[in-house]
């Protein structure tokens, strides 16, 4: 199945509710979009984070899945923002690839700090898949996994 059809299928019912998302920026390359997404999380900027997501984004984290931007916003995005605000994330081993309108980015992370009065020291991996559409680059898939350092 080609990516256009897959994106349409992923968008599904959430397309109508999030169709008015503001453009991420035609000039924003994939890496800039990922960086802006993380910056928005760390700043507690809900609109800034959502602007980087495709309406049909899938988010895999801690064995769970959210299947749209709306589901992610309603279930887990705010907790991710709280965590990002309370901790420090260091990126290592960043790799990426790009072909026309499709890009992927992956990295390893170490996150430290205190969250909800508990010390945090975890190593993680992150993979993001982005696609360029008429509204610029958007994150279509996020996969995060982590373990204690």
Average pLDDT, the chain: 87
Nearest alpha-carbon partner for 29 in 128, 108, 145, 142: 128
Q: What is the pLDDT of residues 47-79, one digit of tens each?
A: 999 999 999 999 999 899 999 999 999 999 999
User: Average pLDDT in the 75-88 region?
Assistant: 97
Q: Residues 6 or more apart from 52 whose CB is under 8 A from it?
A: 24, 33, 34, 36, 37, 40, 138, 139
User: What percentage of the chain reaches a pLDDT higher than 90?
Assistant: 81
- In CATH, which of 3.50.50.60, 3.40.50.2300, 3.10.450.50, 3.90.550.10 is domain 3-148? 3.10.450.50
User: Average pLDDT in the 20-42 region?
Assistant: 77
Domain boundaries, the chain: 3-148
At 63 the pLDDT is: 92
User: Average pLDDT in the 117-138 region?
Assistant: 97
Question: 20 pLDDT exceeds 80?
Answer: no
The terminus-to-terminus CA distance of the chain in angstroms comes to: 39
The confidence band for 11, taking pLDDT boundaries of 50, 70 and 90, is very low
């Amino acid at each position: 199945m080609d990516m256009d059809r897959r994106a349409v299928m992923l968008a599904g019912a959430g397309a109508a509710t999030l169709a008015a998302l503001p453009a991420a920026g035609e000039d924003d390359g994939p890496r800039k979009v990922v960086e802006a997404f993380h910056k928005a999380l760390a700043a507690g900027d809900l609109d800034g984070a959502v602007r980087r997501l495709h309406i049909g984004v899938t988010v895999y984290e801690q064995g769970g899945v959210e299947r749209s931007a709306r589901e992610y916003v309603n279930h887990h995005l705010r907790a991710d923002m709280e965590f990002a605000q309370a901790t420090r994330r260091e990126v290592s081993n960043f790799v990426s690839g790009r072909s026309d309108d499709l890009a992927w980015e992956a990295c390893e992370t170490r996150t430290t700090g205190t969250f909800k009065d508990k010390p945090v020291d975890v190593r993680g991996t992150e993979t993001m898949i982005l696609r360029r559409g008429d509204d610029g680059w958007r994150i279509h898939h996020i996969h995060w996994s982590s373990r204690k350092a």
